[in-house]
């Protein structure tokens, strides 16, 4: 199982389901890093159990990245970028206690 952790203990758990070759996954991780936010990364291309968990949590979405902030399903990169632009990302983080 591949899990990459890049987060501070005080931050809410941001989880990104990714694959090794995915430009949108890289873009999502770069956006979070640019905002000073860490994340956990789970690779679904090398871990079938992680893929099944992603499918269950994301209502069957098969594309990557699939991004979660706590229990909140953000969606993919475009959804994350839109949430960042319109302030929903900051609101979700505030709700999680950041």
Q: Is the dihedral of CA 77, 98, 53, 20 positive or negative?
A: positive
In a domain, 83, yes or no: yes
In a domain, 98, yes or no: no
Q: Residue 79 is part of which domain span?
A: 3-92
CATH number at residue 19: 3.40.30.10
How would you write the pLDDT of the chain (98 residues) with one tens digit per residue?
A: 555 555 454 556 899 999 999 999 999 999 999 999 999 999 999 999 999 999 999 999 999 999 999 999 999 999 999 999 999 999 999 888 76
| Spatial contact of 98 and 12, defined as CB atoms under 8 Å apart | yes
In a domain, 97, yes or no: no
Domains of the chain: total:
1
**Residue 52, both tokens:** 């099944």
In a domain, 8, yes or no: yes
Q: What are phi and psi of 84, to 5 degrees?
A: -65, -45
């Amino acid at each position: 199982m591949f899990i990459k952790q890049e987060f501070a203990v005080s931050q809410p758990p941001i989880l990104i389901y990714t694959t090794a070759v995915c430009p949108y996954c890289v873009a999502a991780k770069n956006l979070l890093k640019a905002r000073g936010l860490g994340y956990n990364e789970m690779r679904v291309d090398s871990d079938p159990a992680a893929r099944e968990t992603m499918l269950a949590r994301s209502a069957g979405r098969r594309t990557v990245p699939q991004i979660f902030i706590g229990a909140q399903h953000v969606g993919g990169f475009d959804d994350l970028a839109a949430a960042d632009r319109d302030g929903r990302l900051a609101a979700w983080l505030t709700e999680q206690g950041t």
